[in-house]
């Protein structure tokens, strides 16, 4: 039996209507996204006194949505507590202490960047807004909140300085430390970080003297790159210095600056041991009064940092009663020198020499002055002499030895009392008449 063409068309139309109806039922709005929303307290006093400092925000959403929670004051100014946070279907609860995203009030002078701040005292309309992730439908639930007795002062950073701005952590005595000084006008927790280009943070501890961490006032942070603890400093480069202050109410302010690290590294050097012969080659084991005892040795910078040195230059001849300071080269913090010591010396390593001459060292300028360095991987031969004329009968012969001195830092065990030699000082033979 043939079905009439009109009936076929009617059936097709009916089927299309069913499909459209099902599509509408699936895609149509299915009631508000937010089904419940409330604040636990209608008034809060966020002053960290433990009484009505916080209120609980609770809400339920029936479908995945993007949630914002904000407050509007009497002038329509909006303050965000949560901004466009994706949430799945379910119940949510969060404590609100009056702290919202940072803002600066009109006519107010703030030196730092305000990250989080208390709402000022006043009457607010709170809004919980949900945007359906599937349809874009937006629903809002509103109410009222009073803020009273809020702490009006933020932990602003009134002072912030980095000194020096170019930092060379290599224990050469020049710009080996950086000081970061900040002043906060109210009690607050301070944190300081170095941040590299990849965003990695290096914590900088506070230098504790008279002021306790967290107190109002000026605070100092000292950083040596870890070199004093025997660790390699961060790689050379430019870093962001970030200082963040957080008070008891949770208000946060930050400031940042730039710090450059140059010629950083752990300084490592040694007097090179020789596979054949003496490590320290003294000219003789017997020296006539008035003659010169000379030496020769090799120094190797096997670390990754340049090491600074100072005079007198190799080859200098000391008188036995002379000390290095009498040459005009006083002890310098961070400088490296070869020294010779003996059993009857009255001071440690009284005779000292530079690790090379300007011709075989590298000049590096710092603070307008040129200093000379033995570079990583470089070796140098150091020579010198002492004119001997004092005979101590109870100590003759006596031992002479070498050392590699890192002045005001120390002498590593491997560089102390290197290759002792017995040296005898004798009277000159009498001449025949």
pLDDT score, position 53: 94
CATH of the domain at 322: 2.60.40.10
Distance from the Cα of residue 48 to its chain's centroid = 31
**Which of 117, 147, 177 is the last residue in one of the domains?**
147
190 token code pair: 């301070």
Q: Are residues 198 and 240 in the same domain?
A: yes
pLDDT, residue 126, reads 98
Asked if residue 372 is part of any domain, the answer here is yes
- Does residue 350 lie within any of the structural domains? yes
- Same domain? 242 vs 99: no
Residue range 81-118, pLDDT digits in tens: 999 999 999 999 999 999 999 999 989 999 999 999 99
- Between 171 and 29, residue with greater pLDDT: 171
The pLDDT score that the predictor gives to residue 4 is 59
Residues 119 and 62 grouped into a single domain:
yes
The dihedral through the CA atoms of 62, 64, 69, 74 has a sign that is negative
- pTM for this entry: 0.81
Could you write out the DSSP letters of every residue in 109-165? --SSEEEEEEPPSEEEEEEEEEEETTT--EEEEEEEEEE-S---------EEEEE-S
Residue 30 pLDDT class (50, 70, 90 cuts)? low
Number of domains in the chain: 3
Helix or strand (DSSP H, E) at 10: helix 5-27
Residue 23 lies in a domain: no
Query: 379-399 pLDDT, tens per residue?
Result: 999 999 999 999 999 999 999
- Confidence tier at 368 by pLDDT (50, 70, 90): confident
Single residue among 240, 261, 282 that ends a domain in this structure: 261
Per the CB < 8 A criterion, the answer to whether 16 and 67 are in contact is no
pLDDT single digits (tens) 240-255: 999 999 999 999 999 9
- Count of C-beta atoms within a 10 Å radius of residue 270: 16
Given pLDDT bands bounded at 50, 70 and 90, which one contains residue 19? low
The span from the CA of 43 to the CA of 39, in Å, is 10
* 307 and 391 housed in the same domain: yes
Percent of the chain with pLDDT strictly greater than 90: 87
Task: State whether 139 and 180 are in the same domain.
Answer: no
**Is residue 419 located within the same domain as residue 288?**
yes
pLDDT value of position 25: 45
Asked if residue 405 and residue 292 are part of one domain, the reply reads yes
286 and 394 belong to one structural domain? yes
**Shared-domain flag, residues 187 and 45:** no
Q: In this structure, is residue 235 part of a structural domain?
A: yes
Tell me the average pLDDT of the chain. 92
- Residue-wise pLDDT for 398-423, tens only, equals 999 999 999 999 999 999 999 999 99
Confidence of residue 207 (pLDDT cuts 50, 70, 90): confident
255 and 273 housed in the same domain: no
In a domain, 3, yes or no: no
Within a domain: residue 153? no
Contact 377, 301 (CB under 8 A): yes
For residue 205, give its domain range: 159-261
End residue of a domain, out of 221, 236, 261: 261
Q: Tell me: do 84 and 226 sit in the same domain.
A: no
What CATH number did the domain enclosing 71 receive? 2.60.40.2550
In a domain, 248, yes or no: yes
> 422 and 356, same structural domain?
yes
The residue-averaged pLDDT of 59-69 equals 97
User: Tell me, what's the pLDDT at 9?
Assistant: 57
Q: Is the pLDDT of residue 289 over 80?
A: yes
* 333-355 tens-digit pLDDT: 999 999 999 999 999 999 999 99
Calculate the CA 270 to chain-centre distance.
Answer: 30
Q: Is residue 124 part of a domain?
A: yes
Which residue bears the tokens 């360095």?
373
């Amino acid at each position: 039996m043939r079905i009439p063409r009109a009936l076929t068309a009617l059936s097709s139309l009916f089927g299309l209507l069913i499909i459209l109806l099902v599509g509408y039922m699936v895609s149509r709005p299915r009631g508000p996204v937010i089904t419940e929303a409330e604040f636990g307290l209608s008034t809060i006093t966020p002053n960290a006194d433990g009484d009505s400092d916080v209120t609980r925000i609770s809400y339920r959403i029936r479908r995945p949505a993007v949630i914002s929670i904000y407050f509007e004051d009497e002038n329509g100014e909006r303050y965000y507590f949560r901004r466009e946070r994706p949430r799945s279907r379910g119940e949510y609860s969060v404590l609100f202490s009056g702290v919202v995203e940072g803002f600066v009030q009109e006519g107010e002078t703030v030196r730092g960047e305000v990250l989080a701040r208390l709402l000022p005292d006043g009457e607010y309309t709170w809004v919980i807004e949900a945007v359906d992730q599937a349809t874009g439908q937006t629903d809002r639930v509103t109410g009222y909140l009073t803020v009273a007795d809020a702490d009006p002062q933020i932990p602003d950073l009134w002072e912030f300085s980095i000194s020096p701005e170019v930092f060379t952590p290599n224990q050469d005595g020049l710009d080996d430390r950086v000081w970061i000084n900040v002043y906060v006008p109210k009690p607050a927790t301070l944190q300081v970080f170095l941040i590299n280009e990849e965003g990695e943070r290096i914590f900088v501890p506070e230098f504790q003297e008279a002021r306790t961490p967290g107190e109002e006032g000026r605070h100092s942070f000292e950083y040596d790159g870890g070199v004093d603890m025997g660790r390699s400093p961060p790689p050379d480069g430019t870093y962001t210095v970030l200082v963040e202050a957080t008070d008891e109410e949770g208000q946060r302010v930050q400031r940042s600056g730039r710090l450059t690290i140059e010629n950083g590294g752990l300084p490592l050097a040694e007097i090179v041991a020789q596979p054949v012969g003496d490590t320290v080659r003294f000219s003789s084991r017997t020296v006539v009064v008035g003659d010169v005892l000379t030496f020769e040795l090799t120094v190797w910078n096997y670390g990754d940092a340049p090491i600074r040195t100072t005079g007198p230059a190799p080859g200098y001849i000391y008188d036995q009663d002379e000390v290095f300071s009498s040459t005009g080269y006083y002890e310098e913090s961070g400088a490296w020198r070869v020294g010779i010591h003996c059993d009857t010396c009255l001071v440690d390593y009284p005779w000292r020499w530079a690790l090379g001459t300007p011709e075989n060292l590298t000049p590096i300028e710092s603070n307008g002055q040129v200093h000379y360095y033995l570079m990583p991987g470089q070796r140098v031969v150091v020579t010198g002499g002492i004119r001997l004329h004092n005979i101590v009968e109870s100590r003759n012969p006596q031992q002479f030895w070498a050392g590699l001195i890192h002045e005001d830092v120390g002498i590593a065990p491997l560089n102390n009392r290197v290759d002792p030699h017995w040296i005898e000082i004798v009277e000159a033979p009498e001449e025949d008449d």
